[in-house]
Amino acid sequence: MNHSRSSTLFAQAKIAIPGGVNSPVRAFKSVGADPLFIKKASGCHIYDEDGNSFIDFVGSWGPMIVGHCHPDIVQAVHDTMNSGASFGAPTERETILANMVIEAVPSIEMVRMVSSGTEATMSAIRVARGFTGRDKIIKFSGCYHGHADSLLVKAGSGAATFGVPDSPGVPADVARLTLTAEYNSLDSVKKLVADNKDSIACIIVEPVAGNMGTVPPREGFLEGLKEICTLEGIILIFDEVMSGFRVAYGGAQELYGVTPDMTTLGKIIGGGLPVGAFGGKREIMEKLSPSGGIYQAGTLSGNPLAMSAGIATLNILKQPGFYSRLEEKSRIIAEGIAQAAQKAGYPIYSTRVGSMFCAFFTKGEVIDWPTASRSDTAAFAKYYLAMLDEGVYLAPSQYETAFVSAAHGDAEIERTIAAAEKCFKLIA
């Protein structure tokens, strides 16, 4: 498959843009190739600058749940653009989308719109700190919540430890306020809470981890976090930027029946446009400026284009049978890829929650970052590039989630499974 124009464009981009990309994973570094430059998309297909067509399982990293260029969304954005892209003033669309989110997500009684997932998580943590009067937070190794300073930390040598900066430019004094536990380990959380009595403002967690590959919560994990937070006066934040409206209309909290104190959202509620949101209990959210003293602001927050795209998207998702049909498509694809690996005698560990799935290149069970990190990333890179040659576009990292959309049809599903069978045989 010819990628010459993409390579040329990448070389040009590296002169003007750090690393040639505006978000690091796009650089394809972990798979040892130059990134594809995408020209257009439609349904479940994307097309690069060299004219190659691919079945897309990235979906702009999650938001394209109904497929690219859905006519309802395109029309909504077009109609809105004719009236103006941004005013920096309130519009009715903000309230309409806010009420749709409140109706859908069990934990949200009030919501604030922002422009990105990072902005949503950093704002939610600020509100939790302001509400509790405490400074420390707990996050989990392998869970990514955006690039705010306090969240760019990783676990040390122990299973649960004080954070250390995970990036130059993050002050050590900021990182020390972030405690890191192991995903799916309540014991690691209990130890941190006991060692930091009455000083932890919030626990932030991806209820379905999607940034170390797809890692589901073990039975009792989310319930245990809720119990700990209730007993200790800690705010429980579900980061549903990825899982919100993805694994169910009401997100992972609807799927698992556990209601946090606060929730962050993004991706799908923007219908492909930049958006984020955070919300929760009324008593917490009313502490936010201008009704309270905790400050947060954004000129483009709730901009008309993103609100219109979000409203149109959620209206599609509300249609009867949408999630049951998506669930079946996703099951067939994930099981088909796992069976293709088994036929080739190649060991993988397959995970899936709703329309999020991952093939870990490891024999062992994956339940957290230490087990995920045992994956054979070199083998994944070979598989990735082979699938790309077969016209299947996956995320260019072992530690990312694949996404299925409503636009994936029987033909694309069959072609994807056939490609996987061929590619596992090549690397076995």
CATH number of the domain to which 331 belongs: 3.90.1150.10
Co-location of 278 and 300 in the same domain? yes
Co-location of 169 and 256 in the same domain? yes
Determine the length of the chain: 428
Say which residue the tokens 């704002």 belong to: 123
Can you give the pLDDT at residue 110?
Answer: 98
Co-location of 76 and 64 in the same domain? no
Q: What b/e readout covers 192-218, taking b as 16+ CB neighbours within 10 angstroms?
A: bbeebeeebbbbbbbbbbbbbbbbbbe
Last residue of a domain, one of 317, 341, 356: 317
Co-location of 9 and 108 in the same domain? no
Find the catalytic residue in 48, 139, 183, 239. 239
Residue pLDDT, tens place only, 139-185? 999 999 988 888 887 633 233 334 456 678 888 888 889 999 999 99
Last residue of a domain, one of 299, 317, 335: 317
Domain of 387?
4-69+321-427
Co-location of 232 and 194 in the same domain? yes
Distance CA 217, CA 236 (A): 15
Question: DSSP string covering 196-241, please?
Answer: TTT-EEEEEE-SSB-SSS-BPPPTTHHHHHHHHHHHHTPEEEEE-T
Last residue of a domain, one of 292, 317, 342: 317
Q: 287: which residues sit within 8 A by CB, 6+ positions away?
A: 127, 130, 131, 293, 294
Distance CA 131, CA 206 (A): 21
Co-location of 308 and 326 in the same domain? no
Q: Tell me the average pLDDT across 284-307.
A: 97
Co-location of 347 and 200 in the same domain? no
Query: Is 295 an annotated catalytic residue?
Result: no
Can you give the pLDDT at residue 171?
Answer: 84
The number of beta carbons lying within 10 Å of the beta carbon of residue 277 is 31
Query: Is 267 an annotated catalytic residue?
Result: yes
Burial class (CB within 10 angstroms; exposed 0-12, middle 13-18, buried 19+) of 231: exposed
CATH number of the domain to which 99 belongs? 3.40.640.10
Find the catalytic residue in 136, 139, 267, 329. 267
Residue pLDDT, tens place only, 347-388? 899 999 999 999 999 999 999 999 999 999 999 999 999 999
66: enclosing H helix or E strand: none
Distance CA 407, CA 249 (A): 17
**Nearest Cα residue to 239 out of 219, 217, 224, 220:** 217
Q: Is the pLDDT of residue 335 over 60?
A: yes
Strand order across the 45-48 sheet: 38-42, 45-48, 53-56, 392-393
Distance CA 222, CA 383 (A): 33
Say which residue the tokens 């000129």 belong to: 299
Indicate yes or no: pTM above 0.85.
yes
**Nearest Cα residue to 29 out of 18, 38, 16, 40:** 18
Co-location of 375 and 271 in the same domain? no
Strand order across the 402-403 sheet: 349-353, 356-360, 402-403
Co-location of 80 and 178 in the same domain? yes
Give the chain's domain count. Answer: 2
Find the catalytic residue in 139, 144, 261, 399. 144
Q: 50: which residues sit within 8 A by CB, 6+ positions away?
A: 1, 2, 3, 4, 5, 6
Can you give the pLDDT at residue 210?
Answer: 95
Co-location of 130 and 166 in the same domain? yes
Co-location of 267 and 343 in the same domain? no
Co-location of 249 and 391 in the same domain? no
Q: Is the pLDDT of residue 192 over 60?
A: yes
Query: Is 187 an annotated catalytic residue?
Result: no
